[in-house]
Structure 1
């Protein structure tokens, strides 16, 4: 009887476990189903929300809404302003949309917009600067200018002297403020003791409209820096892939900008510089010598090549400590996407055509053929 009772007890326990197992499996199935439903609902809801946010708030609206985009506004600030004015539904979606479309170079000013405008129409308006108030003046900064050259242009267009501009650009407190405002752009690298001007290379070359008669120097400079910040956002993944800092990129791009001629192939020049860096060969680019000398010369002399200065790439290996000019988008892109070559030398002839060589002997042949 004892054995029979034990068997019965074991059978009851097995039945109980099976019953509990079924309950557990049923609970797990229900929980899984609920989780899947939640994920599905969130996904569908998110999809329809994004879809609706991409459309005009009111396609039939004709009411004009005044929108002011202040000087120095980046895409995040612009998106927030558009949402506050109810021109768009969601600032984040508009910001991501502009980044996906690689749109930038938006202009400050006073705009007249409606809730019937599409994202593309808003972007086009912000890019072309279609405003109902004309700018009081525009400041054009060409590619390849140094800070000292920019200072002279500011002097011609505003009430500020070139000296006042340079005093502001080197002011330690102003530099710290810009570092705090644009931490991903301006890092501790600009404080290297060998750098002549911390913000050299950080003022983007473009045409800037100003809607105040006397904007402050802080506004003028920060507007240019803000533009550099907006431009470089789209290249962040490429920078991370190349393990290159923003400072290194702007330095490299400035060399290409200064070496460039109207017909130059910047991607191939970039490949020459990268090839030289890879074998620890000095870059030996004349614009760095001129920057080291602090003066413009039509022809660099042999004695100039020996100047003892951190920027002189004839006597120092690697990149100079910082940018030697303010580079444009073409040079920035060339620095990130060089042509794949084995060239180590290049020269430009009198017509601006570049001639490349793999060896020094080939280079001497080009010198004899195109220079002498």
Structure 2
């Protein structure tokens, strides 16, 4: 091979190498661009994720979530617990945010938190041992109210009318939804014959806080039913031991709520009702007559006792078909832990003090002593 051929061959190889170098450079450049793009995308997604995790899970939520922080819990374990309960979006973001704010000394206890709380509100709550959030408004439902009376309070405190409230709580679709959402509380028993309102007695009396100006009417009612469900679940073992259904419990408790004025009275009146049930005697409690009449009266007349209605416990033995009002925790506990007595009768004097008797003759003497007008 002559020199000219060699030079031509070397030139060709150099050209090939230059082409290879250009290709390699292009590949490297493409890889670098892709890598940078990936970094930008990951950074953008990460930024948005962290930004989202710093915000409330659901700003419109009003439902409370019970979170129990055990003694000795670390920031990491508390963060994990909050994420598990759905109160925050990401445990790591909460943990590092708390560290950035130099907050880590949190108190043990049980907190009723919401998904609408900010990270700062959660931190303040865990520091102080109380829920640190100011509601837009509160609504107190006292013990012993019927659904219609609760509707009157709802009308005064919210944008909804009493009719809208009653239309909802008597809606078959809403009742079925509550049965599906709270199967251990709202059972088929509420659909029995002669029950005036299926959900009567199933809205727990308490003070409720709202963090928006117009929560939905359905959310307002469901929160009250959810509160009753939470209370009743605490007594599942006692109910099973007594072979008592939830419907019987809330019905029995509603009678005590309407009859009693003090805790000791509730437990003693519960014993009277149990004793009468055991002996096959009618309960003969005036509030059931008033509920049967559908109107409030300061005094029940003898003619009222004759009203033909399933709720009239003067005419019918056993418990009424369903609750006659919303019972509080004290009345529920009195049903499950009554006093041990031989009383079969009681009456309330003009000052509202209850007097108990073992025999009918003794009861009549007390009627004469405490209720008859002096001549």
TM over 0.5: yes
Offset at residue 310 of structure 1 (A) = 0.4
Contact 2:87–2:113, Cα closer than 8 Å, also in 1: no
In the alignment, what sits opposite 2:188?
188
Q: Secondary structure of 1:160's partner?
A: coil
In the alignment, what sits opposite 2:122?
113
Please state if 1:293 is matched with 2:284.
no
In the alignment, what sits opposite 1:71?
62
In the alignment, what sits opposite 1:146?
146
In the alignment, what sits opposite 1:315?
315
Offset at residue 158 of structure 1 (A) = 1.2
What are the within-5 Å matches in structure 2 for residues 80-159 of structure 1? Answer: 80-82=85-87, 85-86=90-91, 106=112, 108=114, 110=117, 112-114=121-123, 117=126, 124-125=129-130, 129-131=131-133, 134-159=134-159
Cα deviation code 1:29-66 (max 9, x no counterpart): xxxxxxxxxxxxxxxxxxxxxxxxxxxxxxxxxxx985
Contact 1:275–1:343, Cα closer than 8 Å, also in 2: yes
Distance 1:75 1:113, change over 3 A: closer
d(CA) in 2 for partners of 1:367 and 1:266? Answer: 20
Offset at residue 354 of structure 1 (A) = 1.3
Contact 1:144–1:327, Cα closer than 8 Å, also in 2: yes
Q: Secondary structure of 2:205's partner?
A: coil
Contact 1:264–1:352, Cα closer than 8 Å, also in 2: no
Contact 2:204–2:225, Cα closer than 8 Å, also in 1: yes
Q: TM-score, normalised by structure 1?
A: 0.71
In the alignment, what sits opposite 1:338?
338
Contact 2:289–2:305, Cα closer than 8 Å, also in 1: yes
Contact 1:72–1:227, Cα closer than 8 Å, also in 2: no
Aligned residues: 287
Offset at residue 114 of structure 1 (A) = 3.8
Offset at residue 260 of structure 1 (A) = 1.5
Q: Secondary structure of 1:209's partner?
A: strand
Distance 1:233 1:74, change over 3 A: farther
Contact 1:250–1:327, Cα closer than 8 Å, also in 2: yes
In the alignment, what sits opposite 1:162?
162
Distance 1:365 1:336, change over 3 A: same
In the alignment, what sits opposite 2:258?
258
In the alignment, what sits opposite 1:370?
370
Please state if 1:347 is matched with 2:356.
no
d(CA) in 1 for partners of 2:231 and 2:89? Answer: 24
What are the within-5 Å matches in structure 2 for residues 227-246 of structure 1? Answer: 227-246=227-246
d(CA) in 2 for partners of 1:363 and 1:325? Answer: 27
d(CA) in 2 for partners of 1:228 and 1:74? Answer: 14
d(CA) in 2 for partners of 1:139 and 1:115? Answer: 24
Q: TM-score, normalised by structure 2?
A: 0.71
Say which one has the larger Rg: 2
Cα deviation code 1:201-259 (max 9, x no counterpart): 00000111111111111011001001101111111111111111111000000000000
Runs (5+) with no aligned partner, structure 1: 1-63, 89-97
Contact 1:249–1:332, Cα closer than 8 Å, also in 2: yes
Contact 2:347–2:367, Cα closer than 8 Å, also in 1: yes
Q: Secondary structure of 1:303's partner?
A: helix
Q: Secondary structure of 2:86's partner?
A: helix
d(CA) in 1 for partners of 2:322 and 2:250? Answer: 8
Distance 1:116 1:227, change over 3 A: closer
Offset at residue 263 of structure 1 (A) = 7.3
Cα deviation code 1:325-372 (max 9, x no counterpart): 000000000011000100000011122221100000010111111111
Q: Secondary structure of 1:283's partner?
A: coil
In the alignment, what sits opposite 2:199?
199
d(CA) in 2 for partners of 1:228 and 1:71? Answer: 16
Contact 1:270–1:339, Cα closer than 8 Å, also in 2: yes
Q: For the aligned residues, what is the CA RMSD?
A: 2.7
In the alignment, what sits opposite 1:92?
none
d(CA) in 2 for partners of 1:234 and 1:263? Answer: 19
